A and B are shown apart, each in its own frame.
Chain A
Amino acid sequence: MNAPQQPPATADLDDAAIPYLPRGVRLQDDRVRGIRVLQAPERAMQLDAVGDAILSELDGETGLGALIDRLAQKYDAPRDQIAEDVRGFLNGLIDRRMVFVRGRE
C-alpha cells in the first residue's frame, strides 16, 4: 500500500502563530540517561540540543516570528536558517499533537 500524500510540512505556520506545549506534554531531564526528553502520551522523545533550545523558548505567549528572532540572536545564526529549522521541527510535533498552536486547539 502507498504512503498517503502529505502536504508540505511548513504549510500554514505564520509568524503570528503562538505554539505551546499542551497539557500532557512535558519537557524534562532524564537523569538516568543524562539527556533531555519530551514526554507525551505514550511517547518519550529524546531531544537534541536544537530541539531542546526551540522547545525551551515556548512560553505560550511569544509568537513564532519573535521566537525565531530570539533564537537567531541567541545562537548568532542566520534568521532564514533558524526559521526553516524551527518551522520544520514544530510542524512535525504539531502533526503528532505534541505542540499546539494557540487559537487552533
Chain B
Amino acid sequence: MSESYEYLFKFLVIGSAGTGKSSLLNNFIGNKFKEDRCHTIGVEFGSKIVNIGGKSTKLQIWDTAGQERFRSVTRSYYRGAAGALLVYDITSRDSFNALANWLRDARTLASPNIVILLVGNKKDMEEAREVTFTEASQFAQENELMFLETSAKTGENVEEAFLKCSKTILAKIETGELDPERIGSGIQYGTGTSKRLAAPKKPARTPSDCACHV
C-alpha cells in the first residue's frame, strides 16, 4: 500500500451542507455516484495519487461536514492545508451566499498560502440553476480564487478541479513561494523524493510573467 510519490498535499473540501462535497471526493477517488448519500459527520478522508507535470503527487483529502452545527469542530482541521476546494451548489443561492463566510474561515484558519479553488457543483442540473457562471466567476475574481463548474454525477471537471489546484501548489513550490519543508505548509515530501539532492528546477514561466532586472 506504499506507492511512491514525490509530494503529499493536504487538501480540504469545504462548503455548505448538501453541495456535494463527498460526492465530488468519491467521484475523484473512483467511487460510484450515489443519489442519496448520508451526510458527513466529522471528517472523511480520501486519497489519490495524481500525476502533475511528471511528478506523482498524493492528495490527502479531508472532506468536512457542511452542517452549521459541526462548523466549530471542522474549523479545527483547516490549519495546515495546502489547498482547498470551496464548493457551492449552482442550484442553491443560499450555498452561494454562504461562500464569503467559508472563505473567511479558510483564509484566517488555514495557512495564508492556501490555494483555493471555487467549485460550482451540480452542473448537470442546468434547469434548476440559480447561480450564473458569470456572477460566480466574478466572485472568484474578486477573491482571487480559481473557478470551475463541476458535476459529481457525470464526473465533468471533477478531476480537473483537483488537478488545477494541485498544479498551482506545485508551481508555488517551484518558485519558492511555498516551502514544503516548512511545518504547517500542508505539504510533505513523499517516499519517492531525495529532497536535498533534487536539482534546481527551472520555474515554468509564462511570457507575461517576465521580470525586468536592474
Binding between chains A and B? no
**Chain A residues within 8 Å of B, Cβ to Cβ:** none
